[in-house]
Amino acid sequence: MLERIQAFALARAAEADPAHDELHLRRVVANARGIMGNLPASASVDRFVVEAACWLHDCVYLPKGQGVAGEAAQRSAGHAAAYLEELGVDTHLVRAVHDAVLTHSFSGGLKPATIEAAIVQDADRLDALGAIGIARLWVTMVSMGGAMYHRDDPAGSSRDLDDRSWALDHIERKLFRLPTLMNTEAGRAEAERRAAFLRAYLDKFLREIGARQED
């Protein structure tokens, strides 16, 4: 069953930008497996729900900056549920996948209500951090039509941050907040490692463009 769901999701990802492509889905599933492998022994998790939701979490792709906040997650949840019903998946599992897809998104602002939904959210957020998150930051900038940084104040020391105009602002505005928003212990630990790498990257970037003094 998961193989059919995966094939369906991969086909749909062909429409997305390189920050939300097949490779993103595979990484999110791998992240979720990593988190599931590090849960307390007492935790009871439905792996099918987690993996199905990871594959389907972006199954309705809206280019970044289009639609209202959380709209892509809402539409993906609806589409995922309809697809799973068609496949004959049990209603309570369909509902669980639906809810995990619905609550995964940052812009949607919803809190996951189950351990499965919490894992999916963490797994997706890990992909926004670290070396891979850096790659996705710049890819998303191209999709949104912004510039790398504000010419006169790249670090945003004396202006409001605006990550639609300047992609570098997105690091401070959203990405550095992710570790404290993680749901699971394993997710948070990995998020902190990846945020530390991102901080080193931002520092190096600002030094290279002359916006921060070299040591």
* Site residues for its own copies per CB under 8 A: 17-18, 21-23, 26-27, 30, 130-132, 134-135, 138-139, 141-143, 146-149, 151, 194, 197, 201-202, 204-205, 208-210
Closer Cβ to its own copies, 12 or 194, answer by number: 194
Rounded Cα gap, residues 200 and 194, in angstroms: 10
Least Å distance, CB 44 to its own copies, is 26
Closer Cβ to its own copies, 110 or 201, answer by number: 201
Burial of 100 per CB tally in 10 Å (0-12, 13-18, 19+): buried
Residue of 94, 92, 90 whose CA lies nearest to 56 = 94
Closer Cβ to its own copies, 22 or 46, answer by number: 22
Rounded Cα gap, residues 186 and 32, in angstroms: 10
Least Å distance, CB 145 to its own copies, is 9
Residues 187 and 122 sit within 8 Å (Cβ to Cβ): yes
Closer Cβ to its own copies, 113 or 196, answer by number: 196
The DSSP letter of residue 166 is: B
Least Å distance, CB 147 to its own copies, is 6
Rounded Cα gap, residues 163 and 141, in angstroms: 9
Least Å distance, CB 62 to its own copies, is 17
